Structure 1
């Protein structure tokens, strides 16, 4: 391998030799893109010098071996001498998941052999600047695994230069190209020293232009180096349309060649456009999904509520396709609806990148659906579903699998456990198929009866009064809070024996409940994160519980329109049947989560063993792998070193990509919930009832923050699930980014009689802790309070 080689000697596959920048530039050179001539001082040269030197100062003062010095000087002479740009090119930069933009150094207008050698050494040393080390640490990249090459190119003394994004970096729109430009060298734009001219190139050929201010102009000076000049007198001339058209064409070609949107540095000099760098755009929002019809919009609100966090690869290959979402997909297909719960998550580089709300379509079998539903509704009563032998068999099978000792299993036995846990769920879909028709028909009958009586507004409160396992869990939490108040369990020191006993009993009954999402396997359960439950108990124990409103059915049965005893009895039966359906829907979900902790524990046991063998750095790193990748491992003792390294590299790459996407939304909430005029309101959403209330905002983003809520706070959260609903007992109101008026959170809020506003899209980013607001659950508006 050469210490120094021309750019044309490399392509995109030479990351380990030329670094990210050098590999991409070599690819462009070899595909006839307008790139300035240059050469690469390879990573082998760096390794030769870096032996025994691992600090910035040592590398910058290092003596270069004669063969390396001669190779660099010779390549410089072949380039024609004169001014060059010297750019760092690390092996961990310009990747799909990590740009490392600005983390290593660049030196412009370098003139002379000695200045070039010094610049090369300083580029090497920049691998260990504080900012570069901190950036790698955030991404979990080991310093010892990174190497650095140096790219040397003929200097382009630019008249104008800047950056081009081949997709809109804010909206993610792939049909737009965004160009930032300013006078002089592009470093002024890249480093943020100027407010650049801003161009948006649309596919139609239309160009939007916003002039910049040219606060600073950077120019090369004769003899080497650059100067920063005041740009106040610089004329803010727009780039010629011909140059912008050429830039747009080049940008689309580069993006097409690399197969993804690109971040491109460019320069314009003497009538020519030059490309100085191309790397994948990182942290790019997904492209807009386009107009959503009411069905797709409704499905999107459900998905956002169920996906508060980005799924991992292990989610995508285990619980997501086989758990509740996969189960509902099987149910909807049976009744003739295709693509209702499939294909809604798109991956990129092995990491979930975006939500695309599905577009359900009817199949011919839907013609028979009404007959199927009537037949099943007559045969399967939701009030008696727990007596079904299939359900009893399911419970027994789940208990047998749960009781197995994972730690005593061989690796082949352990690696089969996930499939066995997932297989438990298969009969559950049949139970749902059989009992949901009775639920739907019971609800429909009640709705029609109430409408005929002119009492349709009673439907929501009546359903909120249904007894379910969720309401049982909430009442059990209240009893636990009462024990905590009475025994002083949460005041520090050892917990009283009575509280410990009650707490253990609660986790035994409800500990398999999910903490964040029912369709993901990676978030912990209540048993695995008991601090979440303790936070809920702490919130509830802060003051005595509110009096529960009486059952709405009692009030309804005294209504003047129900004077007939027969009419009251008939309506009471319809309410009981509808509530039994609601209970089936809720309770079956909780029961069907029983395989979840079995699956999760088996995965973490695999992760623990892989950590012991140094294949992973921690058990949870296994979440970055797919189930089929784990199943390919026949044993850990005989795992080949190259296979172990391949697994480690896969985990590293996906972890970096995931970290870069940490601030990127799976879908723009405005596409789902709209972005209309809020008028005087701070935020608006779907009104979910409950009147209005005023209080200080408390933004709670995850279950770990439950303990921060104080009585009388306005709970503002990104999503809710049954784990959150005990908080409603203390909250003055609830405002949620996701969900709708029919969501679980809205129903429970109405049950507690507190205002609720759902589907705001951005409440958690607009509202701030301590801000006093008024929440109107009837209009969906959240306004500033005096």
Structure 2
């Protein structure tokens, strides 16, 4: 019996045949049966092997596939043999064992310059879609690691004289990863070798450490809605508005009967998390939700066609949205605090609550669906002029011009939550608003598609109304709190923001202190809220495990991204997780941010450089960097838990690098 050549065959019995048929770079392969080996003596077997085509100029070695390494494993044991004699001896020994296999696969390979494993998705982090390559170069047994983000940019490389990416070439590794992604539905770990010219795939198998999570909650659902820590009262109000007026009707229209009673929101570590199962159901029709589900839940392009994407809202739909937003604005503009009568004050609160519900219908559709869909293919940040409302523009221009009068008179608030005071009330953040002598080009950036322009205008309008509603609630709640303090039901006026809605009802209507809102409890809530606001929270909760955004201090290699605005800056790092940290900013700081509210732009204008975690085109920090020519890097995925506040660092906006002092 002769040695059988394993030609490319989609229906072949061996993996290497099917892989070769799909275009993967599989080395020349043969199948050798036990009968063929036992029928020959060693010398004859060596002659048979030498008779095979002499590829690679005779400078070849052999790889012998010996079957699963462990019971139940899909990974085969690969034995490298450096000569025909060594292969012949190994085959004779293998087939003369007590329980020999019927046949084996061998592959011929050239002398290798490097070898390793390529993971098409990060093998340890379910929240990252990064590709990880590990390997060694010839003559150096030190393992090197390369990490590429989902855009194919190299974000980490081990320090080595003979760098793996220089030797093998990043384009070859990325091309192999793309082939594996298209060929397989699950993330793969592919074993490879490089001969100085070609990157060969020896075997590949699913990454066993990446099970598909059953339950996923994301903090990054819609930066414009909940981008920082929330007080209990704002959570119970705003979360309920969106649940009842946006998610519940949407689930009913789409026929998601199993989600009818599922909570879309959960508050953890003072941050609002959204149930990604809702976004998972929207993927086929709404491409803008892709970054709101983890990589394990994102469909591969080669797996099914899915439904046609939802068309953008037509002129009539936009007109209805504009009309409704205008009605809500008129009501909010005419609103005045009521007389301090218990019943009238409560009715006034319920009136604002109803306006919040009506606003949530429009705000949810704009922030979760139509605007993200329209910007799904947007490569760069939207110009700052498209993101800022009149208040933000006025204060930004005042900061750039050094006009303190406008700043002192402004009612700008750095968050929609009623706990945030306007600048005219002289909060702590006011003291850090200093003149930033920069020029402003608000139109700098990548203009959004023409169809998105009216949607962005409505998105900005809805956001302005959310802030205006928060301001009206703040005025009313402080009025109520003053009465409760006078009646000794609250210790401080600002305690009202740390009540849940049912606790506020019991205090105001029943005039009694619920056990859950005792003074000590409220004090603990305030401390926890401020700690969470400064430290941040994980981006994802998957099967009750937190991923990303660990709060600073943990070393991480992913400190590279994409250059956004060129320039080199050296200075201290300042992590910015919420509006409460704005008063710590100093001119020239390298400000590290994730999700940013447009209301923070006047403070961010003082930054020496900006380092941004994501690539959201609506990120106001990215828009500001372009508008004010602030050196910036974005797409540095792990940055928020890779640095410590106050560390020295250097930013290179041209290379997209952040080098942190050791």
TM-score by length of 2: 0.51
2:326 pairs with one of 377, 389, 392: 392
When residues 480 and 617 of structure 1 are mapped into structure 2, their CA distance, relative to the original with a 3 A threshold, is same
Deviations 1:511-530 (A, max 9, x none): 3x4x24x4x44333455555
Q: Does 1:684 align with 2:559?
A: yes
In 2, Cα distance between the equivalents of 1:617 and 1:679?
39
Which ranges in structure 2 are unaligned for 5 or more consecutive residues? Answer: 1-209, 287-305, 541-545
Give yes or no for contact 1:376–1:435 (8 Å, CA) kept in 2: no
Q: Does 1:731 align with 2:607?
A: yes
Deviations 1:166-202 (A, max 9, x none): xxxxxxxxxxxxxxxxxxxxxxxxxxxxxxxxxxxxx
| Residue 470 of structure 1, CA deviation | 0.7
When residues 310 and 731 of structure 1 are mapped into structure 2, their CA distance, relative to the original with a 3 A threshold, is closer
In 2, Cα distance between the equivalents of 1:465 and 1:763?
24
When residues 634 and 728 of structure 1 are mapped into structure 2, their CA distance, relative to the original with a 3 A threshold, is closer
Map residues 703-714 of structure 1 onto 2, 5 A cutoff.
Answer: 703=579, 706=582, 709-714=585-590
Give yes or no for contact 1:315–1:521 (8 Å, CA) kept in 2: yes
Partner of 2:346: 415
Give yes or no for contact 2:237–2:353 (8 Å, CA) kept in 1: yes
Identify, as 1 or 2, the structure richer in helix. Answer: 1
In 2, Cα distance between the equivalents of 1:687 and 1:337?
41
In 2, Cα distance between the equivalents of 1:662 and 1:689?
32
Partner of 1:585: 459
When residues 336 and 679 of structure 1 are mapped into structure 2, their CA distance, relative to the original with a 3 A threshold, is same
Partner of 2:357: 426
For 1:684, what is the secondary structure of its paired residue?
coil
Give yes or no for contact 2:549–2:640 (8 Å, CA) kept in 1: no
When residues 647 and 714 of structure 1 are mapped into structure 2, their CA distance, relative to the original with a 3 A threshold, is same
1:317 pairs with one of 218, 236, 249: 236
Give yes or no for contact 2:382–2:617 (8 Å, CA) kept in 1: no
In 1, Cα distance between the equivalents of 2:271 and 2:371?
36
When residues 584 and 296 of structure 1 are mapped into structure 2, their CA distance, relative to the original with a 3 A threshold, is farther
| Residue 718 of structure 1, CA deviation | 6.4
Partner of 1:358: 276
Partner of 2:220: 301
For 1:546, what is the secondary structure of its paired residue?
coil
Partner of 1:404: 337
| Residue 474 of structure 1, CA deviation | 4.3
For 1:694, what is the secondary structure of its paired residue?
strand
Partner of 2:317: 380
Q: Does 1:620 align with 2:551?
A: no
For 1:628, what is the secondary structure of its paired residue?
helix
| Residue 581 of structure 1, CA deviation | 2.5
Q: Does 1:766 align with 2:659?
A: no
In 1, Cα distance between the equivalents of 2:222 and 2:548?
13
For 1:720, what is the secondary structure of its paired residue?
coil
Q: Does 1:652 align with 2:570?
A: no
| Residue 615 of structure 1, CA deviation | 1.5
Map residues 183-582 of structure 1 onto 2, 5 A cutoff.
Answer: 296=216, 299-302=218-221, 310-322=229-241, 329=247, 332-333=250-251, 336=254, 342-345=263-266, 355=273, 357-360=275-278, 373-374=310-311, 376-381=313-318, 388-401=322-335, 403-405=336-338, 408-431=339-362, 443=375, 447=377, 459-461=378-380, 464-465=382-383, 467-468=385-386, 470=388, 472-481=390-399, 484=402, 489=404, 499=405, 503-504=408-409, 506-507=410-411, 511=412, 513=413, 515-516=414-415, 518=416, 520-529=417-426, 532=429, 535-536=432-433, 538=434, 541-543=435-437, 545-548=438-441, 551=444, 575-582=449-456
When residues 292 and 610 of structure 1 are mapped into structure 2, their CA distance, relative to the original with a 3 A threshold, is farther
Give yes or no for contact 1:398–1:595 (8 Å, CA) kept in 2: yes
| Residue 777 of structure 1, CA deviation | 7.4
In 1, Cα distance between the equivalents of 2:554 and 2:515?
53
Give yes or no for contact 1:344–1:358 (8 Å, CA) kept in 2: no
Q: Does 1:600 align with 2:521?
A: no
Deviations 1:197-248 (A, max 9, x none): xxxxxxxxxxxxxxxxxxxxxxxxxxxxxxxxxxxxxxxxxxxxxxxxxxxx
Give yes or no for contact 1:692–1:778 (8 Å, CA) kept in 2: no
Deviations 1:126-171 (A, max 9, x none): xxxxxxxxxxxxxxxxxxxxxxxxxxxxxxxxxxxxxxxxxxxxxx
When residues 714 and 291 of structure 1 are mapped into structure 2, their CA distance, relative to the original with a 3 A threshold, is farther
Partner of 1:259: none
| Residue 316 of structure 1, CA deviation | 3.2
| Residue 774 of structure 1, CA deviation | 2.4
Deviations 1:313-356 (A, max 9, x none): 32332233226x77653575476396699444257xxx969957
In 2, Cα distance between the equivalents of 1:433 and 1:309?
17
Partner of 1:131: none
In 2, Cα distance between the equivalents of 1:776 and 1:732?
11
| Residue 552 of structure 1, CA deviation | 5.8
Give yes or no for contact 2:575–2:593 (8 Å, CA) kept in 1: yes
In 2, Cα distance between the equivalents of 1:353 and 1:547?
33
| Residue 548 of structure 1, CA deviation | 2.3
Give yes or no for contact 1:337–1:360 (8 Å, CA) kept in 2: no
Map residues 58-97 of structure 1 onto 2, 5 A cutoff.
Answer: none
Map residues 117-196 of structure 1 onto 2, 5 A cutoff.
Answer: none
Partner of 2:166: none
When residues 743 and 711 of structure 1 are mapped into structure 2, their CA distance, relative to the original with a 3 A threshold, is same
When residues 342 and 651 of structure 1 are mapped into structure 2, their CA distance, relative to the original with a 3 A threshold, is farther
Give yes or no for contact 1:715–1:735 (8 Å, CA) kept in 2: yes
For 1:389, what is the secondary structure of its paired residue?
helix
When residues 317 and 466 of structure 1 are mapped into structure 2, their CA distance, relative to the original with a 3 A threshold, is closer
In 1, Cα distance between the equivalents of 2:343 and 2:600?
39
Give yes or no for contact 2:498–2:526 (8 Å, CA) kept in 1: no
| Residue 755 of structure 1, CA deviation | 1.4
When residues 771 and 698 of structure 1 are mapped into structure 2, their CA distance, relative to the original with a 3 A threshold, is same
| Residue 721 of structure 1, CA deviation | 1.2
| Residue 472 of structure 1, CA deviation | 4.6
Aligned length: 418
| Residue 413 of structure 1, CA deviation | 1.9
Partner of 2:300: none
| Residue 696 of structure 1, CA deviation | 0.1
TM-score by length of 1: 0.44
In 1, Cα distance between the equivalents of 2:560 and 2:255?
29
| Residue 734 of structure 1, CA deviation | 1.6
Partner of 2:83: none
In 1, Cα distance between the equivalents of 2:556 and 2:397?
39
